Structure 1
Amino acid sequence: MTLRKWFHLFWTTLVLGMVVSLVIGLILQYSDQEFSVMGLSAVGFNVMNMLLGGATISVLSQMGFFAYLIVRFIAAGIIRSKKVWDLLQLTVVIVALFDLAYLRSTNFEGSGTFISYSILPLIILIISLGVAYWKMKLTNRNAFIPTLFFMSAVTILEAVPALKLDNAASSFFMLAPLLVCNAWQILILHKILENKKS
């Protein structure tokens, strides 16, 4: 990857995160009058905070993406069998999705049931399956499980600060840009790394 390609990925992801955060933030602000970013309620000030929040979330997404690429590179060197690596990734996906529902239902006892806390992992799983299928269509079938792993397990790990709160608005405000930025990065990766000679 050249510096120019990395700049393209960085800036497009940054702008995408800012736009999605602004749209989601404005929807949340106008649908829930109590919603405010950083405890401030002035709309103009909130717009700036939403843009800055989106930029921060997009940078977090990019850090998670490059961390995943490094871990994947190291794991491919240690675990020689593709089947074992794929099974390990699927196991982590299942554990991450289950823990997202289970740990939140036990930590926030009284505010919901395990079934109500299972809705968010189910939404993340559906989006992850859709992006993984799309990536598989763009490249090859070997991209399905790594994309599913990145879109679900890595996104959940990146969203831990918002998931620690029992607040749907904060979870939605952080997860929506994260999912969009992660999907953008994983879907465009093969185009950025494409060698023009091949």
Structure 2
Amino acid sequence: MNSKKVVFLFWSTLLFGSVSGGIVGFFINLEVYLGDGIGNLIVGIIYMLGISAAFSLVAQMGFFAYLFLHRFGLGLSKSHTLWNRIQWVLIVFVFFDLVYFRYIAFGKEHSFWGYLFIPTLLFIYAFIVARIKAKETNKGAFVPALFFMFVITTIEWVPALVADDDRWLVLYITPLLVANTWQLLMLHRLIAKP
């Protein structure tokens, strides 16, 4: 992949993540931005785009960190099968932690099932994206794609998870999911030989 493609991936990911998070953030805080005139509306939109751009940058750092981790894991394990098994164990571990530790920390206000809902939705979304990636490339891409979309996205999402604020959960996850999905599904297109 040449530098032109890397620059394209960077700016397109930043754009899609910023716009998606900006739109969702605007509608989440609609009453705030429409309350005090046009100046408040403009500042609110700029703020939402800026925050979402920052989250998109976090997603990009996570993506390139995972590319390094994946190569390192393959080199260390000497086989795709062992590395895939390790990734499955980590997926299950992160799913459990995402449910259990959030329930322990904030469960006094909500039922256990409410804390199972969000990780399940994230896993289903990650599963769908991983299936698309595997279909567009090869079957061997499924587990790494699932790991990236579920585990790495969860790690990137930690600042919002510890806040336990539904608005921040949605505002933070939107640009992360859009940016991570875009990067994952664009990578094989950018590195494909013509």
Q: Answer yes or no: same fold by TM over 0.5.
A: yes
Unaligned runs of 5+ in 2: 34-38
User: Which residue of structure 1 aligns with residue 41 of structure 2?
Assistant: 43
Pairing 1:59–2:51 present: no
Tell me the CA shift for residue 145 of structure 1.
0.5
Which TM-score applies when normalising by structure 2?
Answer: 0.94
Structure 1 segment 25-104 matched on structure 2, within 5 A = 25-30=25-30, 33=31, 42-104=40-102
> 1:183 corresponds to which letter in structure 2?
T
Paired residue total: 189
> Distance in 1 between the 2:104 and 2:71 partners?
35
> Distance in 1 between the 2:149 and 2:107 partners?
28
Select the structure that is richer in helix: 2
> 1:17 corresponds to which letter in structure 2?
G
Tell me the CA shift for residue 15 of structure 1.
0.3
> Distance in 2 between the 1:71 and 1:154 partners?
11
Tell me the CA shift for residue 34 of structure 1.
6.3
Question: For 1:195, what is the secondary structure of its paired residue?
Answer: coil
Structure 1 segment 1-198 matched on structure 2, within 5 A = 1-30=1-30, 33=31, 42-196=40-194
CA RMSD of aligned residues (A): 1.4
Question: For 2:168, what is the secondary structure of its paired residue?
Answer: helix
Moved beyond 3 Å, runs of 4+: none
Using the aligned pairs only, state the percent identity.
Answer: 35
> Distance in 2 between the 1:167 and 1:69 partners?
31
> Distance in 2 between the 1:114 and 1:34 partners?
31
> 1:54 corresponds to which letter in structure 2?
S
> Distance in 1 between the 2:174 and 2:158 partners?
13
Q: Deviations over 1:134-182 (max 9, x none)?
A: 1111111111100000000000000100111111110000001101110
> 1:20 corresponds to which letter in structure 2?
S
> Distance in 2 between the 1:111 and 1:66 partners?
37
Larger relative contact order (C-alpha < 8 A, sep ≥ 6)? 2
User: Which residue of structure 1 aligns with residue 36 of structure 2?
Assistant: none
